[in-house]
Structure 1
Amino acid sequence: MRTGTKDFINQWLFKYQTTVFRYERLSSIVTSFVAIVLVIFEYGFYLEKTDMLFIRSIIPFLFFVYITNYILRIIFTNYRWNYIKSTWVEGSFLALITFIGLFHFFVGFHFDPESNANYRHFLFGALVFLVLVESTKASVILSQFKIKPSTTFIFSFIFLILFGTFCLMLPKSTIGETSMNFLDALFTSVSASCVTGLAVVDTGQYFTEKGQLVILLLAQLGGIGIVSFATFFATFMSKGVSLKHKTIIQDVLSSEDLSSATGLLRKVIFLTLLIEILGAIAIFFAWDSSLEFNSMTQKVCYSIFHSVSAFCNAGFSLFPDSLNTSITGDDTTRFFHHGIIDLRHMYGLHMVIGIIIIFGSFGFTTIEEIFSPKKIKDRLKNPWKKYSIGTSISLYSTIILIIVGMLTVFFLEIDSLREDRSLVESLIAAFFQSVTTRTAGFNSMDFGSMRPATILVMIFLMFIGAAPGSTGGGIKSSTFYLLLLSSIGIIRGQERIVVRKRTISDDNIKRSYSIFMFALIYNMVALFILSITELDNPNIDILPLIFEQISAFGTAGLSMGITGELSSIGKVVIILSMYIGRVGTLTLALALSSTVNTNSFKYPEAHVMVG
């Protein structure tokens, strides 16, 4: 009898399952949209007290809808216990919200004024979490649409950029009575999302803490990729990952195996957060005692901001002239003490940030292979075991390029370095500038006073950029390495390119040449346009313009001081350069190209005179 009753109930529920799920899906979308609007109004606008009370009165109803929808999904799903196990994180969180709501309603517990703000932040944070859960469910449906993974990847950045632009234009994001104009907000959002670091305003002085938090989140999401975070969140929430997600992650992380892409992603996310946390702790203790923060909270926030900015190679700093800042406390509204703020000579800080930058520029697969506990354990058992070819190329090319840049800066700029630095301090300054030039965007020296020869070498380093699968830009160090080997091989008459008894495939070589040609042609076109748009500006010469363009394309974020003086069209060109440099010229070309017919057949060979 019980079995019959159970079957009858299940049949009745199955009859209305599609309708209930449809309305549940619709109500979740509407609720999430309302939640986003409430969060934006709460933290983005200056509201009257009545408006604030009205917004906060809606929150319990939103939670009620989320909880009700979850219960309905459990009731009407076919395999209830499996569903509960697969969504235990969401279920546990909603149970916690339910407990807090019931406790608050029946017990009548009132929070004191000091903790009231924390409780409010918790409620809005809970809303944001639930919106992320709903967004993850929507992203899993991605595989149902016939869209190229490369197209999905580039449009994810466009979405992130536009959302960041909107957030930066909110009144509470900037200091002062007027909001940021659209073009400057777009420029800043692109620079943060594409982890570049070029800025048209002083980040530390112009933006409020909320605006700085937006920039930090854009850099974090842009560094690893918003699709990567969505995929990680989906696996964490046990929502499953589509094949298209895996393909995108494989491209982002330069993973060789599609099946292991999501596993690698989880390791990468945890290693990223671990390095950023350890980096923030190291930066916290690296601040010189002469720099007096207003509070411990400010010191912690500044440490976290610069750690994330360094690892993501974003290059944003909360000081007026990055790490080349040397001012008094009277010159900034952020520090109430009247002491000297001299980051220029904080060499311990430079070394810490430089090391964090190097970790970020290695590439995620390299980081996982070198620093994952399993690989370290295997390395201890077999110290002579070699790294994979990709990791070896990333590791050795990074070291070589850092040394080349360091020696260049040291010997060409020795006069300016030794003016107020010892020999060791000069070497540290040259090392830091070489590290950050390739993609990071911090500076501890004045680029406007450097020799043209030094600037040319730095342009070369910025064009190469970081390792593949990293947060950096440029054509990538492995691309340059393969181009170099291929060119030498052609001159020597070699039929194949061999590295460590392994043949480099023709596809890799062709891809490297394609990336190089796309990058070269695009930068030439961009420079041609900039030379026209900035022609009437007497403060901008051609060398700073080339430096600015290559810095934008390589997402290096360094400037010779002309970013804020660019015309509107010039800023648009730099915006496009930062975006294309981040998503990759080849990725953009593949996304925009249509499918071509195979050309596996072969015509008679023709010989063309070259050289």
Structure 2
Amino acid sequence: MIRQTVRWFGVSPPRTLLLGFSFIIFIGALLLRSPISSVEGESMSFIDALFTSTSATCVTGLVLFDTGTYFSTFGHWVILFLIQIGGIGFMTMATLFALILRRKISLKERLILQESLNQGSIEGLVRLVRKVIIYALALETVGAILYTFRFAFDMPLGKAIYHGVFHSISIFNNAGFDLSGDFSSFSDYSTDLYMNVVSMVLIILGGFGFIVLADLFEFRKKSRFSLHTKVVLSMSAGLIVIGAAIIFIFEYTNSQSIGSSGFGEKMLVSFFQSVTTRSGGVTTVDISTFRQATQFFIIILMFIGASPGSTGGGIKTTTFAVLVGAVLAMIRGKEDVVLFRLRLAQERVYKAVTVTLFCIGIVMLGTMILATTEDAAFLRILFEATSAFGTVGLSMGLTGDLSTSGKFTIIFLMFIGRLGPLTLTYALGPKPGRLLYRHAEGKIIIG
């Protein structure tokens, strides 16, 4: 039985990823459950520890307890370690240690890395891992310095450095955990241009994905961008600008959110909220005070999420771009989906549709379960489910009131959202066999 279990997990890279993330979450839960992890020296329940560990490893940011006041320094470092592993990827970290020990990376490990980093081939994977580590650590270090400089005006230098390191790693990895206290996130800095810009840049860079970051850093050498980078940059910019514009318009006269602020402050808050919905998780205003139309639009942005190979979740910007391209091609009567004058293979279009339908189904299932187990308005439930699946971490206040069944449901959504619905399907499903025949073609009426 044990041999069969080991063989089952070792058959394919998706199953290895499934086991790896599960193991890390379980170890994290045990550490967070220990009395040393809390300020009061008390043990939290295992389900609460599992929830927190899953949220950190899946870089989500939904919390049952205020991170800054409930957890001790040891607890903070456990959360930070889980965020770093979850954001960069545990296989990337394992490869880093292998490279340090000068151990050769096997073919099987390269295949797992390929699945983990969402790459099309195993060529150049080890070089990519080196770049991932260097870029991540470099950006996190710069972020920590910038945050420390600002925090030093509000707290002692030692505490400022501590807060700077924690928030830089958390926000770059789009985790959304913060040490502000009282679940206030960055509300104290809602009109602080410096903090807003630093945070937005870290969220955006973390959400681009390491392939895009490599293209950006090596642009002077190559003098051109890949199609993937072009799509990610254009879609990210478009979604951020459109999101900020819609939030600004719908909340302009809402006195409960930004209606009483000046024009510049409204613009700043709108842009920050648009950026953080891409999987950032931190917020400068209480989203529950937004109008329902704005909240629903934020749900759409969270569902789209960040980009492939990044620290963010959602169906990804490239998937959304392919769907938009397919719709435009159909409207224009074209057979091919073309982006930046390059035709996409039909397989890419099918995969985009499959991923989107899978994700819609998972969010619908999670929402239906939560609507049964929780006593809350439907929009709050849909918002929470989408935030968990998109590994965003934004909340309208439902997380702290979740029942045990609700907590398990959110854990499930966060786990699938980080691992990816297709990866989970490949991991749990049977190994595909060779296709021996094709069915005769049939026709149905569409629309």
> Counterpart of 1:395?
233
> Counterpart of 2:424?
588
> Which of the residues 363, 369, 378 maps onto 2:221?
378
Q: For 1:125-140, list aligned pairs within 5 A.
A: none
CA gap 1:356/1:565 in 2 versus in 1, 3 angstroms: same
Of 487-496 and 578-587, more deviation after overlay is shown by 487-496
Contact 2:391 2:418 survives alignment (8 Å) = yes
1:223 aligns with 2:66: no
Q: What is the Cα deviation at residue 175 of structure 1?
A: 1.5
* Structure 1: unaligned runs, 5 residues or longer: 1-141, 326-341, 380-384
Three-state SS of the structure 1 residue aligned to 2:42 is coil
> Counterpart of 2:60?
196
> Which of the residues 315, 323, 340 maps onto 1:483?
323
Of 577-586 and 507-516, more deviation after overlay is shown by 507-516
Alpha-carbon distance in 2 for matches of 1:577, 1:283: 31
Q: Which amino acid aligns with 1:171?
A: P
1:440 aligns with 2:280: yes
> Which of the residues 409, 413, 431 maps onto 1:577?
413
1:251 aligns with 2:134: no
Contact 1:523 1:550 survives alignment (8 Å) = yes
> Counterpart of 1:17?
none
Q: Which amino acid aligns with 2:437?
A: F
CA gap 1:367/1:600 in 2 versus in 1, 3 angstroms: farther
Three-state SS of the structure 1 residue aligned to 2:343 is strand
CA gap 1:217/1:322 in 2 versus in 1, 3 angstroms: farther
Contact 2:305 2:317 survives alignment (8 Å) = yes
1:400-432 C-alpha deviation (Å, 9 max, x unpaired):
111111111111111346555332222111111
Alpha-carbon distance in 2 for matches of 1:577, 1:603: 36
Contact 1:394 1:477 survives alignment (8 Å) = yes
> Which of the residues 33, 36, 39 maps onto 1:169?
33
> Which of the residues 359, 362, 368 maps onto 2:214?
368
> Counterpart of 2:3?
none
Contact 1:143 1:243 survives alignment (8 Å) = no
1:56-76 C-alpha deviation (Å, 9 max, x unpaired):
xxxxxxxxxxxxxxxxxxxxx
Three-state SS of the structure 2 residue aligned to 1:582 is helix
CA gap 1:587/1:601 in 2 versus in 1, 3 angstroms: same
> Counterpart of 1:97?
none
1:425 aligns with 2:271: no
CA gap 1:433/1:600 in 2 versus in 1, 3 angstroms: farther
> Which of the residues 347, 369, 372 maps onto 1:532?
372
Three-state SS of the structure 1 residue aligned to 2:338 is strand
Alpha-carbon distance in 1 for matches of 2:235, 2:263: 26
> Counterpart of 2:204?
358
TM superposition score normalised by structure 1 = 0.69
Alpha-carbon distance in 1 for matches of 2:434, 2:87: 35
Q: What is the Cα deviation at residue 556 of structure 1?
A: 0.5
Alpha-carbon distance in 2 for matches of 1:177, 1:264: 42
TM superposition score normalised by structure 2 = 0.94
Count of residues in correspondence between the two structures = 439
Of 265-274 and 295-304, more deviation after overlay is shown by 295-304
1:171-216 C-alpha deviation (Å, 9 max, x unpaired):
1100214211111110000000000000001000000010011000
Contact 1:323 1:343 survives alignment (8 Å) = no
> Which of the residues 251, 260, 273 maps onto 2:124?
260
Q: For 1:99-118, list aligned pairs within 5 A.
A: none
CA gap 1:143/1:232 in 2 versus in 1, 3 angstroms: farther
CA gap 1:190/1:146 in 2 versus in 1, 3 angstroms: closer
Q: Which amino acid aligns with 1:352?
A: V
Alpha-carbon distance in 1 for matches of 2:128, 2:278: 25
Structure of larger gyration radius: 1
Q: Which amino acid aligns with 1:259?
A: E
Q: What is the Cα deviation at residue 499 of structure 1?
A: 2.4
* Structure 2: unaligned runs, 5 residues or longer: 1-5
Q: What is the Cα deviation at residue 610 of structure 1?
A: 2.7
1:305 aligns with 2:173: no
Contact 2:240 2:275 survives alignment (8 Å) = yes
> Counterpart of 1:349?
195
Contact 2:185 2:283 survives alignment (8 Å) = yes
CA gap 1:144/1:552 in 2 versus in 1, 3 angstroms: closer
Q: What is the Cα deviation at residue 254 of structure 1?
A: 3.1
1:495 aligns with 2:341: no
Contact 1:438 1:556 survives alignment (8 Å) = yes
Q: For 1:498-509, list aligned pairs within 5 A.
A: 498-509=338-349
